[in-house]
């Protein structure tokens, strides 16, 4: 599994523990189910609507999308610097 520059790999168990410490009201089973769904989709080759590999952790909460589309980074950069790659998000 390739990593995005600036991101560090983390195991599912370690991520869930960190998330639960910061968000104690979260349903652990639901969180794990959402993460496993995103992981399975990633392994099947599902990609963001812009064509980029999607961001597993963010996608478990925000839909199967890459970091740039989830954060609207691509749209903001396009407004500031002109379009560089296709991304179906709006500012």
The 10s digit of each residue's pLDDT in 15-38 is 999 999 999 999 999 999 999 999
Per-residue DSSP letters for 30-90?
Answer: HHHHHHHHHHHHHHTT-B-TTSSBP-HHHHHHH-S--HHHHHTHHHHHHHHH---S-----
Q: What is the pLDDT of residue 2?
A: 46
Q: What is the pLDDT of residue 66?
A: 87
pLDDT, residue 88, reads 42
Residue range 38-50, pLDDT digits in tens: 999 999 999 998 8
Q: Rounded to whole angstroms, what are the CA distances from 27 to 22, 32, 35, 40?
A: 13, 9, 12, 20
CA–CA separation, 33 vs 49, rounded Å?
Answer: 22
On the question of pLDDT at 8 being above 50, the answer is: yes
- Rounded distance between C-alpha atoms, residue 81 and residue 3, angstroms: 25
């Amino acid at each position: 599994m390739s990593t995005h520059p600036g991101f560090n790999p983390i195991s599912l168990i370690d991520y869930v523990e960190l998330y639960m410490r910061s968000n104690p009201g979260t349903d652990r089973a639901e969180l794990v189910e959402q993460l496993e769904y995103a992981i399975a989709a990633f392994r099947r080759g599902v990609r963001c609507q812009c064509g980029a590999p999607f961001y597993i952790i963010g996608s478990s909460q925000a839909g199967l999308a890459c970091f740039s589309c989830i954060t609207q980074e691509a749209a903001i950069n396009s407004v500031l610097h002109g379009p560089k790659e296709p991304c179906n998000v709006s500012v």
